[in-house]
A = this chain, B = another copy of it.
Amino acid sequence: MSFDVTPQSMSFAAPLALRSGASLGDYTLAYETYGTLNAERSNAVLVCHALNASHHVAGRYAGQPKSEGWWDNMIGPGKAVDTDRFFVIGINNLGSCFGSTGPMHVNPATGRVYGADFPVVTVEDWVDAQARLLDALGIDTLAAVMGGSLGGMQALSWTLQYPERVRHAAVIASAPNLNAENIAFNEVARRAIVTDPDFHGGHFYEHGVVPKRGLRIARMIGHITYLSDDVMNEKFGRELREGVVRYTTQDVEFQIESYLRYQGDKFSEYFDANTYLLITRALDYFDPAGGHGGDLAAALARATAKFLLVSFSTDWRFSPQRSREIVKALLDNRRSVSYAEIDAPHGHDAFLLDDVRYLGVVRAWFEGIAGELQ
């Protein structure tokens, strides 16, 4: 059972200084909240989103069937993150295409749509913007910040940028940075978009076209890396769509092809091409150890939160090894860390799916936090 929610938005006039040296003025953040902020303002949980998600984390929009938020299985009344006890906030990141200011909006400085001129944003910039929104909501300290994948990077960055404002952090299916292979996949996806003739250097809006070819390819690559080899073999294997080989190089032969084409088509209908570039770049750039000569333990010394790390055995995009690097660096700093490596077949996607042990781990951890509130 889900619950009805209403999206909100908040505008900010003061410019936000970005890591690139640029700044963003007059921007809006879309967000949602679930549950009630307690009198002590101590039960707030910020949920950070990954590439293809938004502030719509949980609940559904009234009268819209199948409009459940992307982590609705995790968050809600009586769920692992219990909105009867916590005040949960979801914020759409700057540069995204789901309501917050992004490349498809008008740059107030020029009167033209930003397009490719939208400033490059980093995980750290997003966290700064999220902190401002919390300021406006009167939330000084978070009971917890949590996120999966790129969302986990934001949760980790919160503990470094605002250590005094975060009591707990859940970093799920994430990594301390992207490795070369991760960057390589992002780069292929970006090249597919940028070299699509309909991209027009990122200013396709004024041409009335969308670089759908590139977006389709980007999404197909993404889907391959989200799934494990095992789950692909189990779901699709070598199954033929028509049951017999038709000997064609351009038409669909295998079910896996049909699935990927469908996913790519669907994505190209709603996702913004410049957003794709911006968000994959934010992923590429995130590297807290970078400023410490690669020493992750030194980088995480600032963090004072209590941590939960979760990884999934078949996730080859953000493998358990990468989570263990974070765990080790935190333990080197004698921080409190719970770590669960979930044996799940679904690859990187597992962090969004129902897995009894995974949801149980998160539930137990949040019950501990709720206990501290009383």
Contacts and interface: CB of A to CB of B under 8 A. Distances in A.
A260 interface: yes
A74 interface: no
Contacts of A281: 248-249, 253
A144 to B, nearest CB: 29
B250 A116 contact: yes
A188 B250 contact: no
Interface string A336-369: 0000000000000000000000000000000000
A163 interface: no
Contact of A188 (B196, B260, B284): B260
Nearest to A221: B188
Interface in A131-189: 177-181, 183-185, 187-188
A197 interface: yes
Contacts of A257: 183-184, 187
A261 interface: yes
Contact of A229 (B21, B179, B213, B285): B179
Given A238-B180, A247-B20, A254-B183, A261 B191 contact: yes
Interface in A203-241: 213, 216-217, 220-221, 223-224, 227, 229, 232-233, 235-238
A19 interface: yes
Given A249-B116, A277-B250, A187 B220 contact: yes
A278 interface: yes
Chain A, interface SS category:
helix
A72 interface: no
B213 A195 contact: yes
A97 to B, nearest CB: 14
A202 interface: yes
A220 B238 contact: no
A320 interface: no
Nearest to A188: B220
Contacts of A196: 213
A188 B256 CA distance: 11
Contacts of A216: 191, 195
Q: Which residue among A19, A188, A195, A227 has the maximum number of chain B CB atoms within 10 Å of its CB? A: A188
B188 A237 contact: no
Interface string A271-306: 000100110010011010010000000000000000
A221 B116 CA distance: 25
A127 interface: no
A120 interface: yes
Interface in A98-119: 116, 119
Contact of A232 (B181, B223, B285): B181
B120 A188 contact: no
A190 interface: yes
A109 to B, nearest CB: 18
Given A179-B232, A181-B224, A183-B238, A190 B260 contact: no
8 contacts: A120-B249, A179-B233, A179-B237, A180-B237, A188-B217, A191-B216, A194-B250, A254-B284
Q: Closest 5 A-B residue pairs measured CB to CB?
A: A20-B247, A249-B277, A180-B232, A120-B247, A195-B213
